[in-house]
Amino acid sequence: MRAMNPVATTNPLSRQRRKEARPAELTAAALELFVERGFAATRLDDVAARAGVSKGTLYLYFASKEELFKAVIQQGLLPVLAQGEEMMAQHRGDASTLLRELILRWWALVVNTPLSAIPKLIISESGNFPEVARYFQEQVGSRKDQLLGNVLQKGMQSGEFRQLDIPATIDLISAPILMRVLWRYSLKPCGSGQQDDETYLNTYLDLLLNGLRTKGVRT
């Protein structure tokens, strides 16, 4: 019996899966290089080389470096926001528990991953690339603020949270997390700041949640 040609038995779906995986590989390589070199200094050639593909392959998926950065945001941050919105829709307990769970999820999936570099990149590059900054604010910042605002409103309506200025409170919830990731990519390599992430997070949550609650209701 004639031996079967091993090439003929190769599953074409394996090649298809490899091709479909490339956008995620490209965005991962892009984020690495954006962190290492900055957005302005990173070339598409460098991203293609880091991902192990040709520049032509990169252009099949992304027409420009700005589009590539938008894809980093789409693939990395938008799913986390969508999960948070689903948690809000399904939650039936108190607002404090929901807010804690949302912050812990963001910390685990963003702050403790390479995705934490995105806010730092937006801040440092927004002046030269305002389109990317606007996209981040529209797709991430606005949705994050809406989600937090809904949680705060829920807590105030139930009497669990005292009456708050919601926009100001959203900024004050977000600021310590933003400062932590900025510190990680700036002063931490210089040896500034000694508290570990767990201590920082637990202290932040304690101050935040007890500060929001109606007087006399504390953990």
List the Cα angle 123/22/16 in 5-degree steps: 155
Between the alpha carbon of residue 45 and those of residues 49, 76, 129, 132, the distances in Å are: 6, 22, 19, 20
pLDDT exceeds cutoff 70 at 99: yes
Same domain, 59 and 89: no
Mean pLDDT value of segment 37-61: 91
Mean pLDDT value of segment 65-75: 94
Whether 50 is in a domain gets the answer yes
* Range(s) of the domain holding residue 46: 12-68
What pLDDT, on the 0 to 100 scale, is given for residue 184? 84
CATH assignment of the domain containing 58: 1.10.10.60
Domains: count for the chain = 2
End position of a domain, from candidates 49, 68, 87: 68
Same domain, 180 and 127: yes
| 107-140: pLDDT as tens digits | 999 999 999 999 989 998 888 899 999 999 999 9
Under the banding of pLDDT at 50, 70 and 90, the label for residue 15 is very low
Pairwise pLDDT comparison (165 vs 55), residue with the higher score: 165
What pLDDT, on the 0 to 100 scale, is given for residue 216? 58
Residue 219: count other Cβ atoms within 10 Å of its Cβ.
Answer: 9
Dihedral Cα 96, 101, 103, 105, nearest 10 deg: -170
What pLDDT, on the 0 to 100 scale, is given for residue 55? 87
End position of a domain, from candidates 47, 68, 89: 68
Under the banding of pLDDT at 50, 70 and 90, the label for residue 6 is very low
pLDDT exceeds cutoff 90 at 61: yes
Share of the chain above pLDDT 70, in %: 85
pLDDT exceeds cutoff 90 at 168: yes
Dihedral Cα 195, 198, 106, 211, nearest 10 deg: -80
Same domain, 177 and 96: yes
Mean pLDDT value of segment 190-218: 84
